[in-house]
Amino acid sequence: MIKYPYYLCLFLTICHSCDEKHNHPNLLEQDALKVAKAKVIVDLSHDYSAETIYWVTAKEFQLDTVFKGDTDKGFYYAANNFSTAEHGGTHIDAPIHFAKNGQTVDEIPLEKLMGPAIKIDVSKSAFTSPDYLISIQDFLDWEEKENTQIPEGSIVLLQTNYSKYYPDKLKYLGTEERGPDAIKQLHFPGLSPEAATWLVEKRNINAIGLDTPSIDFGQSEYFKSHVILLSKNIPVFENLTNLDQLPASGFEIIALPMKIKEGSGAPLRIVAILNP
């Protein structure tokens, strides 16, 4: 019932444009199509399924079928229930995750989640080094190569290439075990607390994300990089993918989490729009 008027509108629009095409080409429409085709959109999100990787102590994703099939009234119908922890799969950490007075996920200003972004490729050092800590030097190297400082108000993405291991838990997390005892066995790269401090003190970024399970590396005990970034209301995106398809700069991010009231985090659909 909700969809009916939408389809009707679409039908009328298509008929309308067919008509115009036959009579006289609609130049505006052609231009708009050209622009739309020139834009490349890269999906940086993993899907949610039984394979989705969660923190070893978090409840995993579950999808339960409510109904799927033809009804006795003649129409087809499908609906599911799902449940998930906030922090699993491609998700956002809201500042309150590690900062008492930080914003909850519904309070994060949209301006922080959409806008110009850069990518820093540290995969040469990080991909085969599970305990690698992304350093201040990695940021300085990017700035030297790109001949610019990390731009004011940008979204910073860190590429380790760990997403290539996803969803193999042993390779991606360092362990297939679950529960509190598995935490000590976690091995994957992350951002060093020194580099997190440098970012908040020397540069002014809107958000940060990476293609590993956590912004702090697997062997972290005190989650200092979380604390440093989230205390400054800088949201963190975790378990990203397809970062290898992005250039070092010149693209935009749209990162929209589920708007959970008072949430400490949420599933995140994040895409990059590459400039033509």
Please report how close the Cβ of residue 33 comes to Zn ion at its closest, in angstroms: 39
Beta carbon nearer to Zn ion, 193 or 265: 265
For β-strands 40-43 and 62-70, DSSP reports them as: unpaired
In whole angstroms, how close is the CB of 192 to Zn ion at the nearest point?
18
Nearest distance in Å: CB 53, Zn ion? 12
Q: How far is the CB of 240 from Zn ion (least distance, A)?
A: 12
* Residue ranges in 81-140 that form contacts with Zn ion under rule CB under 5 A: 87, 93
The residue number with the shortest CB distance to Zn ion is 87
**49-88 footprint of Zn ion as x/- string (CB under 5 A):** --------------------------------------x-
Q: How many residues bind Zn ion (CB under 5 A)?
A: 3
Q: CA-CA-CA-CA torsion for 262, 225, 112, 86, nearest 10 degrees?
A: -30
CB-nearer residue toward Zn ion: 133 or 240: 240
Minimum CB distance to Zn ion, residue 105 (Å): 11
Least separation, in Å, of the C-beta of 69 and Zn ion? 37
Query: How far is 226 from 98, CA to CA, in rounded Å?
Result: 6
Specify the pairing of strand 236-238 against strand 251-257: unpaired
Long-range contacts of 99-104 (CB under 8 A, 24+ apart): 99/227, 99/230, 99/231, 99/233, 102/230, 102/231, 102/233, 103/233, 104/260, 104/261, 104/262, 104/263, 104/264
Q: Exposed (0-12), middle (13-18) or buried (19+): which is 102, by Cβ within 10 Å?
A: buried
| CB 205, min distance to Zn ion, A | 18
The 215-254 contact track toward Zn ion, x by CB under 5 A, reads ----------------------------------------
CA atoms within 13 A on the CB side of 96: 15
Residue closest to 134 by CA, chosen among 75, 83, 205, 198: 198
Residues in the chain: 276
Q: Output 87 or 187, the one with its CB closest to Zn ion.
A: 87
Q: Does 211 bind Zn ion (CB under 5 A)?
A: no
Q: Which CB sits closer to Zn ion, 89 or 251?
A: 89
* Nearer to Zn ion among residue 183 and residue 273 (C-beta): 183
Residue closer to Zn ion by CB (options 130, 209) is 209
Site for Zn ion in 256-275 (CB under 5 A): 265
Q: Give one DSSP letter per residue of 137-182, joined into a string.
A: HHHHHHHHHHTSPPPTT-EEEEE-SGGGGTT-HHHHHS-S--SGGG
Catalog residues that contact Zn ion under the rule CB under 5 A.
87, 93, 265
